[in-house]
Homo-oligomer: A and B are copies of this chain.
Amino acid sequence: MPDQNSGRRAELLDLAAELFAEHGYRSTTVRDIADAAGILSGSLYHHFDSKESMADEILRGFLDSLFGRYAEIVELGLGPRKTLEAIVTASFEAIDSQQAAVAIYQNEAKHLTKLERFAYIETRNTEFHRLWTDLLTEGIADGAFRPDLDVEVVFRFIRDTVWFAVHWYNPKGSLPVEEIAQQYLTIVLDGIATRRRPAKRRTDG
């Protein structure tokens, strides 16, 4: 295995990530990746052990950086509502800056976790579940969120909507990522129906 920090290596990994994201892990052949890089398929094995190793490296890097960011946010102790807003915003920023990795995580995680080497995905999913249900439970307890909601349903609802945006978000589109995050937060927090008092309200700090 050559230098882990080689520029060429990172280049190839980026190409692989884009192809995995666009066509799916399974449908992308090592020949496709090599073609995109302008080399032959055999040459890829100078940089990586296997196709699986490439996906592994892409997902590991993405999840480490994402959960590092989440940990930073939680440590700020902003209270349930502001923490929720920050976590959602951070997730949209990840979609913006690491779109391919997010798409792979979305599309392939379920199947890859079956393989031992990808067991850390399950660990991260559990961590994510814990983060959200704690946050929602705390928010319900202190009056920030409605008490009549099923925490599990809300968790999945938020998780799904946030990550699914990766499928249509266009980094070059007219809507900047901050604005989309804001729109999502508005819907999740306040709903789409009209209300008698449209003013912003704040129950927590």
Inter-chain contacts of A149 with B (CB < 8 A): 183, 186-187, 192
- Tallying the copies of this chain within the complex gives 2
Instruction: State which residues 181-197 of A face B: CB under 8 Å.
Output: 183-184, 186-197
Give the total of A residues in contact with B, Cβ under 8 Å: 45
Report whether A175 and B197 are in contact in the complex, using a CB–CB cutoff of 8 Å.
no
A156 at the interface (CB under 8 A from B): yes
CB distance from A148 to the nearest CB of B (A): 8
Instruction: List the one stretch of A34-42, A64-72, A138-146 in contact with chain B.
Output: A138-146
Known: A160-B164, A188-B187. A24 touches B23 (CB 8 A): no
A203 at the interface (CB under 8 A from B): yes
A153 at the interface (CB under 8 A from B): yes
A139-181 vs B, CB cutoff 8 Å, 1 = contact: the mask equals 0000111101110011011001100110110000001000010
- Of B156, B186, B194, which contacts A168 at CB under 8 A? B156
Q: Which residue of B lies closest to A148 (CB)?
A: B186
Report whether A146 and B193 are in contact in the complex, using a CB–CB cutoff of 8 Å.
yes
CB distance from A121 to the nearest CB of B (A): 15
Q: Which residue of B lies closest to A136 (CB)?
A: B192
Known: A26-B27, A156-B165, A160-B160. A197 touches B198 (CB 8 A): no
Closest 7 CB pairs of A and B: A191-B191, A190-B191, A160-B164, A189-B193, A26-B26, A153-B183, A161-B161
